[in-house]
Amino acid sequence: MPTFDSDEAARLHRELHSHLPSDPALRTKTLESLLVERGLVAPETLDAWVEAYSEHIGPKRGTQVVARAWCDPGFRERLLADATAAITEMGFEGDATGHLKAIENTDSQHNMVVCTLCSCYPFSLLGMSPPWYKSAAYRARAVREPRAVLAEFGVDLPEDVGVRVWDSTAELRYLVVPQRPAGTEGWEEERLATLVTRNSMIGTERDLTTGGA
């Protein structure tokens, strides 16, 4: 008579499930299949949309904006005065950046963006928002205890550096301009853009480094 090994059954269960996509991925795939099956959207349209945000927009547009602000004092002034108008110069305008405010980190202040009501986000510049940005925990704690949240992202701020949390809405969204790393004097915009991260433009990263770039 065969015996039942509970440990082996649990191992097989874990192994089988490790090959399955996550629940969100399954839901997304099901929704995509239904839309295509009912003729509401063409598969090539979905592929083009995914490619645009993963390969062309992503955070890449935002990094180019930051790099230009680092290199061009005139553009930096225009960006801080009217970010929507400034990014239009670069052809990056869109529905998610119609009302955009650029906020600059300094030696004495760090900026952090959250959307407490939903997950408003300048996706025309930064691509799709990361899952943690939309989580209830981040949205609530970033306002109540920003230093603790930043510490969890590896950002330990000295007491003399203030933190300002900006609450994004459908009418006003924010782009954090991180500080330019030391040792990048004379670098061209394209090279500087490689140093800028998505999280630094949300404010959950502060000290950018050259990292051998």
What local confidence, expressed as pLDDT, does residue 96 receive?
A: 65
Rounded CA-CA distance 175/112 in Å is 9
The alpha carbon of 169 is separated from its chain's Cα centroid by a whole number of angstroms, namely 16
Catalytic, 71? Answer no
Residue boundaries of the structural domains of the chain: 7-41, 59-202
One of 115, 124, 168, 200 is an active-site residue; which one? 115
- What does CATH list as the number for 59-202? 3.90.330.10
What local confidence, expressed as pLDDT, does residue 31 receive?
A: 75
The pLDDT tens digits of the residues spanning 82-129 come to 999 999 999 887 766 778 999 999 999 999 999 998 888 998 899 888
Instruction: Write a three-state SS string for the chain.
Output: CCCCCHHHHHHHHHHHHHCCCCHHHHHHHHHHHHHHHCCCCCHHHHHHHHHHHHHHHCCHHHHHHHHHHHHCHHHHHHHHHCHHHHHHCCCCCCHHHCCEEEEECCCCEEEEEECCCCCCCCHHHHCCCCHHHHCHHHHHHHHHCHHHHHHHCCCCCCCCCEEEEEECCCCCEEEEECCCCCCCCCCCHHHHHCCCCHHHHHCCCCCCCCCCC
The alpha carbon of 20 is separated from its chain's Cα centroid by a whole number of angstroms, namely 26
Rounded CA-CA distance 107/161 in Å is 7
Catalytic, 118? Answer yes
What local confidence, expressed as pLDDT, does residue 194 receive?
A: 96
One of 18, 120, 168, 200 is an active-site residue; which one? 120
Does the pLDDT of residue 155 top 90, yes or no? yes
What local confidence, expressed as pLDDT, does residue 24 receive?
A: 60
For residue 143, what pLDDT band results from cuts at 50, 70 and 90?
very high
One of 6, 54, 71, 119 is an active-site residue; which one? 119
One of 33, 54, 118, 135 is an active-site residue; which one? 118
The pLDDT tens digits of the residues spanning 183-201 come to 999 999 999 999 999 999 9
The pLDDT tens digits of the residues spanning 1-43 come to 455 566 665 665 566 556 555 566 677 677 778 778 888 888 8
Does the pLDDT of residue 162 top 80, yes or no? yes
Catalytic, 120? Answer yes
